[in-house]
Structure 1
Amino acid sequence: MGILDTFSLRNHVVVVTGATGVLGKAFVDALAEAGAKIAVLGRNTEKLQERVEAIEAKGAEALAVQVDVLNEEEVIKAKDEILAKWGTINGLVNAAGGNIPGATIQPDQNLFDHDVKDTLKAIELNLYGTIIPTHIFGRVIAESGKGSIINISSLAASRPITRVLGYTVAKHGVDGYTKWMSVELALRYGDKVRVNAIAPGVFLTEQNRNLLMDSNGSYSDRAQKFINGMPFQRLGEPDELKGTLVYLLSDASALVTGETIFVDGGFNSWCGV
């Protein structure tokens, strides 16, 4: 097998939660281009169908499943539907997540007046929305003897980013869960079952648009602070996550597990001087 062959995902069955989001779209496109069969999961049926059509236009196979990743029964049904179609699952991308408006603490808001219930909702979406699919789809991957699970971390798990408390706490949990599960799966199922995370830098998505863009269409002060903190001096493009995703799902990263890879234009490395 040549080095380029190790990056192929041809005939791999990969589940992508949160496939209707901006980053989810980039992930789905990358998988289609790498030859995978893709189960796209999300809550918006219209966007799910758009993803299927885009995948099929690239010559790949797709299955859309409407599901709430916080509902175990729905996730189990999704697993059964995927297995009925393709018979196995080789990879999982836990892309469901993001911040929610009520969990963002405004600069002029009293920190201690913040509604904790909103913070808990953000934690549930990002952390439980990773754990639940992993325990359901991951079991299939582990018992098949080979596969890869990708979680989505964040800069917020390594740097304290103001205002997004619930998101920050959840992403710290995702990092810890990634390491813990990678060790447990390796010890119990061997060296062919891996768990890693991608920590994207700052990308403009629907969830953070109100934080990064002003009403006139220009970058907000907050967005400019992010840009100033990156050696690359710009926000990321979703397509720039594609290579890292395919690498971690493929045999090219066969000895990589328990790691979080930053795709952030150097933000996490730079002290600003």
Structure 2
Amino acid sequence: MIPVHGNIQGRVAVVTGGSGVLCSEMCRELARHGVKVAILNRTVEKGEVVAEEIRSNGGKAIAIAANVLDRSSLENAREVILSQFGRLDILINGAGGNHPDAITAMETYGEAVEGKSFFDLEGDGFSQVFASNFTGTFLTSQVFGEMLLEQETPVIINISSMSAYSPMTKVPAYSAAKSAINNFTMWMATHFAETGLRVNAIAPGFFLTKQNRNLLMTEDGSLTERSNKIMTHTPMRRFGKPEDLLGTLLWLVDESYSGFVTGITVPVDGGFMAYSGV
């Protein structure tokens, strides 16, 4: 178990998409270190499950319904957080994901596979996936940014992906959005550097989540063809586990460890990015 970072005790974190497999683990870990956590989801019930688990273990957490593409709902969430916790130190932009309307059926054009080709993708579906991953990060950072600047050591953590560096087949909107996240992380880090606000990102490799399980696992629990390709290109030969992200998260949010670190995206990928394939 990671030693408790006493330096961040009493701080307040907002985590968008906080009920997801990866971000819920981040919420629980931050709470273990004494951070008060506000969990934002479109569906408050999902966030409340995580919040209640944190409270039952002695931590402090609230769940708030918010849509990262709706500024007014984010502003309402901000008021609730101010009334409940009075401050904000850490923002984790974890909301995002993918959608079938923005996914091609085939990896390369001309494959004998039934389903949507690149030319069948609809603009609305593509735009929605791009927006949920990138525009939502932009809007959330805007709405909560001024609260962050009131503190001495504020931090924003964006969630990127291996697909930002080497775009995965089938998911052009998701890949483009995550690449934009990396660029935006550097832009914000530069823009706010003199204020003390540090902005970094974490790029998970391949982790099993509810959203991708059907792509990566068959009904009998064996690996799909896509998963076998992933394993071939992951030197550590396994999927990531949510707890694999926590050390990097704590390093980045605690200025006593990373006070001179801003504008970077940290791969947590089992060596995926380092491996050329030969």
Shorter-chain TM-score range:
over 0.9
CA distance 1:43–1:174, shift in 2 (3 Å): same
Alpha-carbon distance, 1:56 to partner: 1.1
- Report the CA distance shift for 1:7/1:130 in structure 2 as closer, same or farther (over 3 A): farther
Q: Judge conservation of contact 1:198–1:263 (CA < 8 Å) in 2.
A: yes
Letter in 2 for 1:141: L
Q: Do residues 110 (structure 1) and 117 (structure 2) align? A: yes
> What residue is the counterpart of 2:138 in the other structure?
131
The residue number in structure 1 matching 2:63 is 64
Match of 2:231, SS state, is helix
Q: Quick check: 1:260 aligned with 2:259?
A: no
Contact between 2:4 and 2:33, CA under 8 Å: does it hold in 1? no
Residue 153 of structure 2 aligns with an amino acid whose one-letter code is K
Alignment of structure 1 residues 164-179 onto 2, 5 Å: 164-179=171-186
Once the 2 structures are TM-superposed, how far is the Cα of residue 7 of structure 1 from its aligned partner?
6.3
Length, aligned pairs only: 267
- What is the correspondence of 1:124-163 to structure 2 with a 5 Å cutoff? 124-163=131-170
Give secondary structure in 1 for the equivalent of 2:76: helix
The answer to whether structure 1 residue 121 and structure 2 residue 125 are counterparts is no
Deviation at 1:169, TM superposition (A): 0.7
**2:129 alignment partner AA:** A
SS in structure 2 opposite 1:144? coil
Give the % identical residues.
Answer: 39
The one-character-per-residue Cα deviations of 1:136-193 (angstroms, maximum 9, x if unpaired) are 1122112334310000000011012100000001001111110000000114x1xx21
Matches within 5 A, 1:155-234: 155-187=162-194, 189=195, 192-234=196-238
Rounded to whole Å, the distance in 2 between the matches of 1:161 and 1:8 is 38
Deviation at 1:228, TM superposition (A): 1.1
Which TM-score applies when normalising by structure 2?
0.92
- CA–CA distance in 1 between the matches of 2:117 and 2:161? 25
Matched, 1:250 2:254: yes
Shift of 1:34: 1.4
User: What residue number does 1:11 align with?
Assistant: 10
In the TM superposition, residue 215 of structure 1 has moved relative to its aligned partner by 3.0
Structure with bigger RCO (C-alpha 8 Å, 6+ apart): 1
C-alpha distance after superposition, 1:23-80 (max 9, x if no partner): 1111111111111000011022222111111111222111111111111000011011
Q: Retained in 2: the 8 A contact 1:127–1:173?
A: yes
Say whether the 8 Å CA contact 1:99–1:208 is kept in structure 2.
no
Q: Secondary structure at the match of 2:237?
A: coil
| 3-state SS of paired residue (2:223) | coil
One-letter amino acid of the counterpart of residue 169, structure 1: A
C-alpha RMSD of matched pairs (Å): 1.4
- Structure 1 runs not aligned, ≥5 long: none
**What is the match of residue 109 of structure 2?**
none
TM-score normalised by the chain length of structure 1? 0.94
Q: Structure 2 stretches of 5 or more lacking a match?
A: 107-112
What is the rounded CA distance, in whole Å, between the counterparts of 1:178 and 1:110 in structure 2? Answer: 32
Correspondence 1:19-58 to 2 at 5 A: 19-58=18-57
